[in-house]
Structure 1
Amino acid sequence: MAEPQRIVIVGSGLAGASAAGALRTSGFSGEVTLIGQEPHRPYELPPLSKGILLGDTDTPDWVHDEDFYAKHDIQVASRTEAREVLLGDRVVVDDTGTRHPFDRLLLATGSRPRMPSLPGADLAGIRTLRTLDDSLALRETLTAGTRVVIIGGGWIGCEVAAAARKHEAEVTIVERLPLPLHPILGDTVAAVFRDLHAQQGVTWKLGVGLAEFTGDGGRVTGVRLDDGTQLPADVVIVAIGAVPRVELAHAAGLELSDSVPGGGVDTDAALRTSAPGVFAAGDIAAHFHPRYERRLRVEHWANAKDQGAHVAGNLLGGAEPYTASPFFFSDQYDLGMEVRGLANPFRDDLVVRGDLAAREFIAFWLRDGAVHAAVNVNMWDDGDALQSLVDNQTKADAKQLQDADLASLAG
């Protein structure tokens, strides 16, 4: 496959910007165009629910320095929506009618917050968290005594709750499942997060769902749960997951996936879609992972960053599979943690090293005697060893994982 002369990247988030940067640092001298709807230059999302919402900073972690794009001759079309991909003409058409011809195309359109289709969903005061502007606006509402109801006890819901409590807001989290983060962490480890938030003054409404948003004069005043409970609220934050932005890919005729939660754009191990010369990365990529022998769609920061950098080589004619293990981190109050790998906590065997009650521990999930995932909570010395254990699906028993030197065990 000949090296392209024109590469267009649709999506100016972390995956798209990382790909653009990697193209230039790898020596590609052709045209690179980055199209995105954001008014800001590309930034990373984790600070939106952490440092910015906590009030520790007003700026995110920028993907590149401000002068990087001009210095490396990357054409950035900000505040611009890609409206159509004409595969036959090898052209992207944006909302101004401008045509962007390409030899290779990367779709990195990301995702948007999921919203429930319930009465009152259009009331003012109902917020989601996805952009820098969302975070800054939400922070203004998190003041002492403000009644905050968070719908969803996942990562975003828990981090928003921690920030709201720092600002002395009154916080209630509504979660339909029996525990927060339950599908990811299972009963034992998820209970640690339930208790952490309860000790910080958060009220849990677990095992109950949302029936409607209630309001007055066009503004939200609370929520009604499906057990009839009424919760007053000055602010309601919906944090029930995200939906991949696949509309552009679908309209272009690319194959989509129904084998991953929420769907996505089908790619092979090298992040190639069903159309020649067209790739997908980040939140939208339903990527065939060689180690797991199935498709994965991962929405976390590391996946966007690493897939973006990786796909650059394949845009230039390579065919290297993307094999990194899923990785995620979270900070809540005085708890910091990292997740590596992919567990099924209701099928895999849990092994805990350390002290759950003190919130200083490592949890391992084993399948057929091999380490498939690990979570370290307030323990930071074994990150490299944990990565190796997960990447290699190292065989180990409970006693070894609890007592042995992990670096030695990882080899």
Structure 2
Amino acid sequence: MSEHILIIGGGQAGMQIAVTLREEGFDGSVTIVGEEHHGPYQRPPLSKAYLAGEADAETLELRNPQFYVDNNIVVIPSEKVVSLAWGEKHGVATTETGRELPFDKLALATGSDPKRLTCEGADLDGVLYMRGLDDANELKARWEKIHNIVVIGGGFIGLEVAAVARKYNKHVTVVHSRDRLMSRAVGPVVSEFFLEAHIKRGAEVLLDSKVTKLHGESGTVSGVELADGTVIPADAVMVGIGVSPRGELATQLGLEVSDNGAIVVDSHARTSDPRVVACGDVALLPHPLTGEGMVMLESVQNAVDQAKLAAKSLLGGSEEYHAVPWFWSDQAELKLQMAGLSQGFDQQVVRGNPDEDKFSVLYYKNGRIIAVDAVNDVLDYMAVRRALTAGQNIPADLAADSSVALKTLVTD
């Protein structure tokens, strides 16, 4: 009998696992089951090009429907898996409708959910999130009636939505609880640059500010109250305060799960049960470059690269995950590109001129380059990304001269 591989999660990671299984010659049953009404699609453009009207739902599709037919990949949308269990011969996933899906091996690519506000008024109409296509469509449906929009959270998604809103002349207020923007992802120089950039483009940005209450009229949000008593008018509130990995199904199989709900995997994307792999936003994995410590990587790059590895592991492969993490964010005409992980850096080098909206920041630890944040500077970004991929270095004392191309400075 042919082997059944079930993939739970219809996002980028889930789709990539299925594609790689077929590319590797697996001829058994491959099924993708997901909660959304749509087939696998790209999420990053939702808060950027899609919201701005520069992309539509069709352009977001990762593959056209015929691809899945041609490759004998079954895609089941609109079905939420609520329970998992191993039987004597195989496992069974049961959906909310009572449908049972058998499997011999399992891939968990369940992603993450946006963290929700818990203050008074959080359930008012007009309090929105940006995680899936339906979320983006809900904001777009309200777009013409919005004059004042409050963005809660100064991470990538919040700032991308803020940038699009300013493009359409909405009055934008960004409320962020920390002392600098995007603090989990970039260094202080880049945080300060984007703070000034958003203010210069007409947004109001409030740092170190806590939301205590949302005001409403007739059940619809009308204002955001801060800890100091200030009330900011709001026709809509976009919340982007982080995500929570969706590892709850893993606990039903007794898999190791971290305190925040992420599924713990090894460098092969295997869980504590070798019959089960996990990848993408839901996975807590060893640092892909150093192997030291565990990290979560919320990016398309990680979803794709780790999914390829996960598929091979399901087929008995033993490759280890060593991809260089990379990320990007488009905010107005500013393209931020990041490679590597800058956490723990002990030295930085700034190249170019932030005042000209084109510069890069190189991060070092113990004399070795570990990451770059580049704004409108693709050459510096690519030079560092290639060096990290090859395990090479770019000496900090030489990199400070921005008139010299980084690619010429690469050493072992």
TM-score (normalizing by structure 1): 0.94
Deviations 1:116-164 (A, max 9, x none): 2111111111000011121122123234861000000100010000111
What aligned pairs does 1:24-173 form with structure 2 within 5 A after superposition? Answer: 24-59=22-57, 60-88=59-87, 89-143=90-144, 146-173=147-174
Question: Paired residue for 1:399, among 391, 397, 400?
Answer: 397
Moved more, 302-311 or 39-48: 302-311
Paired with 2:274 and 2:184, the residues of 1 have a C-alpha distance of 36
Distance across 1 between alignment mates of 2:145 and 2:112: 32
- Contact 1:269–1:322 (CA under 8 A) maintained in structure 2: yes
Give 1:377 deviation, angstroms. Answer: 1.0
Question: CA–CA distance in 1 between the matches of 2:23 and 2:252?
Answer: 32
Partner of 2:342: 343
- Compute the RMSD of aligned alpha carbons: 1.8
Distance 1:270 1:145, change over 3 A: closer
CA distance in 2, matches of 1:380, 1:396: 16
Unaligned runs of 5+ in 2: none
Deviations along 1:43-100, one digit per CA (max 9) or x if unpaired, are 0111101111111122252221221111111111110111111134422222232222
* Structure 1 residues 181-207: Cα deviation after superposition (integer angstroms, max 9, x where no partner): 123223221111001100110001111
Structural mapping, 1:205-220, within 5 Å: 205-220=206-221
Instruction: Give ranges in structure 1 of 5+ residues lacking alignment.
Output: none
Matched residue, 2:183: 182
Is residue 17 of structure 1 aligned with residue 15 of structure 2? yes
Residues 244-393 of structure 1 aligned to structure 2 (within 5 Å): 244-258=245-259, 262-289=260-287, 291-344=290-343, 347-392=345-390
- Bigger shift: 390-399 or 22-31? 390-399
Give the counterpart of 2:4 among 3, 6, 29.
Answer: 6
Distance in 2 between the 1:4 and 1:178 partners? 55
Deviation at 1:305, TM superposition (A): 1.8
Conservation of the 8 A alpha-carbon contact between 2:18 and 2:311 = yes
Query: Residue 148 of structure 2 aligns to which amino acid in structure 1?
Result: R
Give the conservation status (yes or no) of the 8 Å contact 1:142–1:169: no
8 Å CA contact retained: 2:246, 2:261 = no
The alignment partner of 2:119 has SS state of coil
Q: How many angstroms apart in 2 are the aligned matches of 1:275 and 1:62?
A: 32
What letter corresponds to residue 314 of structure 1 in structure 2?
Answer: S
Cα displacement (A) at 1:381: 2.5
* C-alpha contact 2:85 2:252 (8 A) present in aligned 1: no
**Contact 2:248-2:261 within 8 A present in 1 as well:** no
Provide Cα deviations, 1:95-116, integer angstroms capped at 9, x if missing partner. Answer: 2322222221000001111012
Report deviation, 1:409. 2.6
**After superposition, where does 1:192-211 map in structure 2 within 5 Å?**
192-211=193-212
| Segment drifting more, 183-192 vs 359-368 | 183-192
Residues 395-404 or 176-185, more deviating:
395-404
Structure 1 segments (4+ residues) deviating >6 Å: none
> Does the CA contact (< 8 Å) of 2:209 and 2:226 recur in 1?
yes
Q: Structure 1 residues 277, 4: closer, same or farther in 2, change over 3 A? A: farther
Counterpart code for 2:40: P
Does the 8 Å CA contact 1:144/1:167 hold for their aligned counterparts?
no
1:224-280 superposed Cα distances (whole Å, 9 cap, x missing partner) = 11121111100001100111111111222211123xxx4410111101101131010
Aligned residues with identical type, % of pairs: 38
User: How does the TM-score come out when normalised to structure 2?
Assistant: 0.94
Secondary structure of the residue aligned to 2:161 is: helix
One-letter amino acid of the counterpart of residue 115, structure 2:
R
